[in-house]
Structure 1
Amino acid sequence: MKYVVDSALCAAHGLCADTAPDVFTLDDDGFNAAAGRTVDVPEHLEAAAREGAAACPESAIQIQD
């Protein structure tokens, strides 16, 4: 699976990284570091990626199966 972060929607809440720190990282300004890119998720972290995406109040993270 993959995920993509919509940079226009990311509001730097940081809940994705709080929920799934092994999947999501933040840049120096608190925004998702992968904003605007598609990222491959290792199979063993897929559940964490889904939880982190669901934690985003802006729905900025889309999971692609």
Structure 2
Amino acid sequence: MAGTASTMKKSLKSRIRITRNGKVIRRPMGIAHFKAKKSSGQKLRKKADRALHKSDFESMKKEI
């Protein structure tokens, strides 16, 4: 597996985005389907992208 260390895994690539400043942006989970059960406030909060916390990024660094 030479040369794979610099590329990101495809499953992870679809879930996160790295900004110019190095922040990791993620989508909140639980918004893809079953929206009828959720309140309008829940749906509105889950629409926005969120920054990944530093401690979570440290554990995810192995996958990137």
Query: TM-score w.r.t. structure 1 length?
Result: 0.29
Instruction: Report the structure number with the largest CA radius of gyration.
Output: 2
More relative contact order in 1 or in 2 (CA 8 Å, sep 6+)? Answer: 1
Structure that is richer in strand per residue = 1
